[in-house]
Chain A
Amino acid sequence: MTSQPQTLFDKLWNAHLVTPETDAAPAILYIDLHLIHEVTSPQAFAELEQRGLPLRRADRTKGTLDHSTPTLPVGADGQRNYVNAEARAQVDMLRANCTRFGVELFDYDSPQRGIVHVMGPELGLTQPGQTIVCGDSHTATHGAFGALAFGIGTSEVGHVLATQCLLQRKPKTLAITVDGELAPGVGAKDLILHVIGVIGVNGGTGQVIEYRGSTIRALSMEQRMTVCNMSIEAGARAGLIAPDQTTFDYLRGRPRVPADFDAAIEEWKHFHTDEGARFDREVRIDARDIQPTVTWGTHPGQVAAIAANVSTGDGDDAKARDYMGWDAGAALAGRPVDVVFVGSCTNSRLSDLREAASVLRDRHVHPRVRMLVVPGSEQVKREAEAEGIDRIVRAAGAEWREPGCSMCIAMNGDIVGAGQLAVSTSNRNFEGRQGKGARTVLASPLTAAACAVAGEITDPRPYLTTEPARIAELETA
């Protein structure tokens, strides 16, 4: 046993070192789970083929279709409504590559297909103590389980396919401690938007964040995933939360967890930060300072409480205001909304859809608003439909779609028009992210649904008539 107290990150790092780093060379880090999807993998498989290399560990590689997949059901002609032939070819290519290299693919016919960061945890593929990578920056989501999970580029996808390893320099550590109770109507999305507002859109660059404190401990796994998901929006390499009983309870019984689950728990308990371990940097946040929060600008650090006003700053703030169509100092509340999107790996799990449905129930989406609700996976869709959430969504006048990334990245044809204002539960409000000229306001599922009903940006708290958790009982009663 080492006597030196270690952080959770140190333990994860050390447990996966094939060779440690030196001045002359980065560390070689072993990867336990490699998730792939259609957009960032074709060129990596091509590299393998060109070099005549085998895939080292097909058993540690899992594929899904999510980014460029249509969210409308298969048409009467049996065809999927791809945005273009290239998108179809991309999906076909992943299928061909998975067949050729023996990789398990969660294809359209799989009841387990989903957005890569929704599917992994749901299946129990994501486990504490692992290293997990994917050619997708929101791989940080899996850190909610105490796994070191981060996004990589396509060249690195090729490195992992061929060697199951990555060359990495050790990042620094940042502890973000959140203490206190969240007010009703304030959720994990508000928390992480607030955190990014505090540390800045580049506040996590070069660092791995560990989220700690009583507020974090009290979060469900779904909420922890929402928090870790957006670590990259502060520039961080990864986000981590130490596994605890909440983690173990979530994983127990999932299809891909270890057969001897109790023995696994004993090993997973090792992955926490030791008393007295040092972080390179620490930030403290008081949960009572957090209100329903949205972005007003064009990066996720430009946030404000819904009750507040848009920044009057110049420079970047002025440019963002200009793109978003705000006057300096304008009130956020009351701005008309054109589109509402509930979905993405940040907020498309069952609990998120329940929250949105709790607001939509017995209400109607404002006539000016187009609202899309897109479950994160086939399983979420099934469970939501079993509870009647699809009926609530449709009855409210919103669209209920097939699982996928959809308007989060808007590369499948689900787009927001130029100049339109969208309130979205996704993670990026960059210029044009949801379509050329589209304006995005990031929000929680509760806020998004409230905005859909009001037809304008609004605080969700007056709409909290039903406890989200009780929706299921109400529906089946």
Chain B
Amino acid sequence: MHPITEVVSRTVVLRERNIDTDQIIPARFLTTTQREGLGKHAFNDWRTLEDGSPNPQFPFNRAENVGARILVAGRNFGCGSSREHAPWALTDLGLRAVISAQIADIFRSNALKNGLLPIVLEDGIVDELLDRPGIELRIDVAGRSVTLPDGRSVQFPLDAFAQTCLLGGVDQLGYLLKQDAAIARFEAARSEQQGQSQEFRHAS
């Protein structure tokens, strides 16, 4: 993963609440065995009209939003399925951050592993951002802050470990692999201290 220190971009706004991962990437596009190339299917059912042509009203179809890296969305973004195809589709669209008043757990975890910043801000400020699509924001990962065009700056919560990973481009699997000794100790201790029946094995 590449380090991410800041994201500076105009915003694209989807006002809807509870945007689930079936909206972000409908299941019929999950037959892929790749991570790449899902952006063209992102929000497919909202992006296209009945006849399959692009819906001119949909924000991601509008010329002014091409290249935008920050999505501002209604509360409870990313709920539903655990499909990592959702952040893959969004980063393939060019997005680097999602701002919402609430972001679903699994989506948040998946996003962080793919260089997509899940940023939760208070309702008041999210409402303001939802009302003003296209403004330019500056997200500072080290300072855990979002700066608005008028200079106001708001803080967002970011787990210290997630922050370290983002700033250093640290890959979580690499980190886990380095814990091999502790994992081996855990496995050994458990098979000793616990009864045989607790061990993972079976009769047949």
Contacts and interface: CB of A to CB of B under 8 A. Distances in A.
Judged by DSSP, the binding face of A is loop
A137 B81 contact: yes
A403 interface: no
Interface string A403-425: 00000011100000010000000
A163 B172 contact: no
Given A26-B161, A316-B17, A432-B26, A202 B79 contact: yes
Contacts of B110: 153-155
Interface residues of B, number: 63
Contacts of B187: 30, 164
A104 to B, nearest CB: 11
A112 B185 CA distance: 34
A257 B203 contact: yes
Contacts of B194: 267
Contacts, number: 210
Given A18-B179, A26-B159, A163-B183, A155 B172 contact: yes
A168 to B, nearest CB: 9
B114 A155 contact: yes
B176 A163 contact: yes
Contacts of B201: 59, 258-259
A431 B33 contact: no
A299 interface: yes
Interface in A198-235: 201-202, 205-206, 232, 235
A32 interface: yes
A431 B22 contact: yes
Interface of A: 18-19, 23-26, 28, 30, 32-33, 39-40, 42-43, 46-47, 51, 53, 56, 59-60, 67-68, 83-84, 86-87, 89-90, 93, 124-125, 129, 135-137, 151-156, 158-159, 162-165, 167, 169, 171, 201-202, 205-206, 232, 235, 237, 255-261, 263-264, 267, 299, 315-316, 319, 409-411, 418, 428, 430-433, 436-437
Given A155-B173, A258-B197, 20 more contacts: A24-B164, A28-B182, A39-B30, A43-B35, A68-B30, A83-B28, A83-B31, A135-B84, A158-B173, A163-B180, A163-B183, A167-B161, A205-B104, A255-B202, A258-B201, A260-B195, A411-B31, A418-B50, A430-B20, A436-B44
